[in-house]
Structure 1
Amino acid sequence: MMLYEELLTEANKLGIIVKEYNLKTRKGRCCGNRIVINKNLTTQEKCCVLAEELGHYHLTVGDISNQSNISNRKQEVLARRWGYKKNAGILDLINAFKAGCKTKYEIAEFLNITEKYLNEAIEYYTSKYGAYYTIDCYNIMFIPNFRIGKAFF
């Protein structure tokens, strides 16, 4: 779980310049060591966008704005998944449960992300792990309904 300010600090330590502007067609963009975030987004949206743009910084090469190109789409997915792990990793989900969060709304609030972003992260984990994932005596059920609980062996 990362707060927007923590992501900004991380970017700064990497030598990345992050600026907020009034973007009309995008939420964010990464070009080299510069990231632009739409200043009209909520703090939670900015947190989601900045994590993905940091994923682009770490993982993608070149201009991938043409999403009709399969290679560009693959790079987009890689950056998105990097962001999910950064903002809503498996251990973050468990920490939200430990903090008393029961619903997706509560978990998203705890993680400082949008509920839509949390749902996308859950979809990713479902595709990666299947119906459930067990770690450190906790079960995360993805199918049929998302829920987290203590594992009893």
Structure 2
Amino acid sequence: MGYLELLQIAEDENIEIIEMNLTGRNKGLYADNIIAIGSNIDTTIEKTCILAEELGHYYTSFSDIVDQTKIGNRKQERRARAWGYEQLVSIEKLVQASDEGIRNKYELAEYLGVTEEFLESTLKYYKEKYGICYKTKSCIVYFDPLWIYKSFE
């Protein structure tokens, strides 16, 4: 899923996307069916990662969570990021990339259309969620280091 597909999701949900100058560390914000993306973001790939997380807020958050000193707000932030991770870097996409011959994280990030930082965060999330690996019908996906084991029985 790329930037255009995420824009279509936003349009389908009647969410307005605007680019604007954001201050501080914020690269994106969601409130009241409006997603603001930092106008200083240079690449579409980074915009894709930011937009996925902000759509995650639309689907998973239910209040103002700007104050990250509150544990409930941090949990909502994590849920929003998880939504983005699972949309852009699903387990199925990891297996598909392996099938396509992708062999390192740089190639994988490029193949998936995400930043290397986003990919690393996603793998960390999956490791926290599933443990060291996740078993599908046809293979085992190890998260650290990333490795796809396929049984040829």
TM-score by length of 1: 0.93
Structure 2, unaligned runs of 5 or more: none
Alpha-carbon distance in structure 2 between the residues aligned to 1:92 and 1:32: 31
Query: 1:9 — aligned with what?
Result: 8
Match of 2:38 in 1: 38
- Aligned equivalents of 1:128, 1:65: Cα separation in 2: 24
Letter matched to residue 15 of structure 2: I
Question: Displacement of 1:142 after TM fit?
Answer: 1.6
Give how far 1:95 is off. Answer: 1.5
CA contact (8 A) 1:140 1:148 kept: yes
Cα distance in 1 between the residues matched to 2:15 and 2:123:
29
1:135 deviation in Å?
1.0
C-alpha RMSD of matched pairs (Å): 1.2
* Aligned 1:21-36 pairs, distance under 5 A: 21-25=20-24, 26-36=26-36
Write the letter of the residue equivalent to 1:148.
Answer: I
**Equivalent pair of 1:105/1:115 in contact (CA under 8 Å):** yes
Partner AA of 1:95 in structure 2: Q
State the match for 2:80 in structure 1: 79
Q: Secondary structure at the match of 1:67?
A: coil
Deviation at 1:51, TM superposition (A): 0.5
Q: Distance in 2 between matches of 1:151 and 1:141?
A: 14
Find the aligned partners of 1:20 and 1:98 in 2 and give their Cα distance.
Answer: 37
- Consecutive aligned runs of 4 or more in structure 1 exceeding 6 Å deviation: none
SS at match of 2:14: coil
Task: State the distance in 1 between where 2:114 and 2:103 align.
Answer: 16
CA positional deviation for 1:133: 1.2
Residue type of the partner of 1:51? A
Distance 2:44 2:31 in 1: 22
Distance 1:62 1:131 in 2: 33
What is the identity percentage for the equivalent residue pairs of Structure 1 and Structure 2? Answer: 44
Q: Aligned pair count?
A: 151
State the shift of 1:136 in Å: 3.1
TM-score scaled by length of structure 2: 0.93
Contact 1:132 1:140 in 2 (8 A): yes
- Cα distance in 1 for residues equivalent to 2:139 and 2:18: 39
Which amino acid letter does the alignment assign opposite residue 38 of structure 2? N
Q: Which moved more, 1:57-66 or 1:22-31?
A: 22-31
The equivalent of 1:119 in structure 2 is 120
